[in-house]
Amino acid sequence: MPVRHNPIHEAGLRARGQMAALVRDLRSARLARGLSQVAIADAIGTSHQLISQWERGAGSPRLTRAAAWGAAVGLDVTLRSFPGAPALRDAGQLRALARAQQLIGSHWTWRTEAPVSSAPLDRRAIDAVIARGSMRIGLEVITRLTDAQAQVRAATLKQEAARLDRMILVLAKTRHNRAALRAAAPTLHPAFPLPARALLRALRAGHLPSGNGVLVV
C-alpha cells in the first residue's frame, strides 16, 4: 500500500529534529562552561531531572525554556520560519493562480512551487515561476493583503535569492484587498511600480516587463 505524503507530519518531524540539535548545542555549551545540570535547572526554573531527560533525548523543552537555557550558557536561541515545499494551498490561492495564468497567456512555461535556492536549509518556495528563453519571472499569490511591508519584503527577498528578473504579486480580487492595496500604495509602489496594464501588455507579448508589478485577479 503506498505511503501518503503528509506535509504536516513531515513538518513535525523536522521541528523535533531541529529541537534535538538545539539541545545538543545547549548541552555542549553547558559542558564547555563547566556548568552542572543543577546549575542550569536553577537558572531556568526547572528541575535537574528534566535537564537530564532533555539532554538524553527524552522529551524536549519549550522554546521559552530553551531560550533561557541558551542565555545561561551564552548562546542566543532564535526562531525562524520558512514556507516548506510543497505548501498547503487553499482554494482561493489556486483560483488566483489559474486566473493569472489565463491573463498572462501562452508565451510562457510555468513551474509551480519552485524552490528559491538549492541550499538544503532554505525551504522557501515561489508560488510560480514563468520562463521564456533566459527570462524568469516569479509570481507570489496573496489571497489577503494584511501586512504589506512584510509581504513585500518576503517577495523581494525571494526574487533576490532566486535571481529572478521580475517578481509579480498576484492579489485575489476582493473588497478587502482593493482597500488594502490603496492603503499600502506607498509601501508597494517602490518595489512594484509597474501598472497592471503595462505588466500584462508585456507578458502577453512574451516580453520582459520593465519592472515588478501587481496583478489583481
For residue range 151-177, what is the model confidence (pLDDT) as tens digits? 889 899 999 999 999 999 999 999 999
Q: What is the pLDDT of residues 85-99, one digit of tens each?
A: 445 456 778 888 999
Predicted confidence band at 107 (pLDDT cuts at 50, 70, 90)? Answer: very high
Q: What is the pLDDT of residue 8?
A: 46
Structural domains of the chain ordered from first start: 7-73 (1.10.260.40), 91-216 (3.40.1350)
Predicted confidence band at 72 (pLDDT cuts at 50, 70, 90)? Answer: confident
Are 131 and 111 in contact, with CB atoms under 8 Å apart?
yes
Are 192 and 153 in contact, with CB atoms under 8 Å apart?
no
Q: What is the pLDDT of residue 5?
A: 45
The better pLDDT of the pair 195, 122 is held by: 195
- In Å, what is the CA distance from 166 to each residue of 127, 130, 140, 211? 14, 10, 11, 7
N- to C-terminal Cα distance for the chain? 41
Q: What is the pLDDT of residue 82?
A: 53
